[in-house]
Amino acid sequence: MNYPKRCPITELPFYGVVTHPDRGEVPVYGEDQELYTIPVMNDDGEFYRYQYLPDIREWDPVPEFVNTLEEQLANLLKMARSNEVNDWWRESTDYVLGLVR
């Protein structure tokens, strides 16, 4: 089966395919010890993913909730704007926020 070369939600690179106990064979994305499934949305509209731990060949049983790239960028820019920053940074964040909206 052909899987995306990058995770469509997190943009992590494709690593390989691993068997999940509940979901069967799933693609995982990331590098080295940071391997994750493609995030899926729950009934509340939140994205979550599972981490595969290759050193012990097991899955972390607790899902990890993640933000979309747009949410991550917006949160980062809000944090940056809440602190005292120079005019250049403010102009840059205004420009990027305009692209995200």
SS3 state of residue 1: coil
Residue 36 and residue 49 in contact, taking contact as beta carbons nearer than 8 Å: yes
Summarised one tens digit per residue, pLDDT across range 57-76 is 999 999 998 876 667 667 66
Predicted TM-score (pTM) above 0.85? no
Residue ranges of the chain with per-residue pLDDT less than 70: 68-70, 72-73, 75-76, 79-101
Q: Which residues of 77-100 are buried (b: 16+ CB within 10 A; e: fewer)?
A: beeeeeeeeeeeeeeebeeeeeee
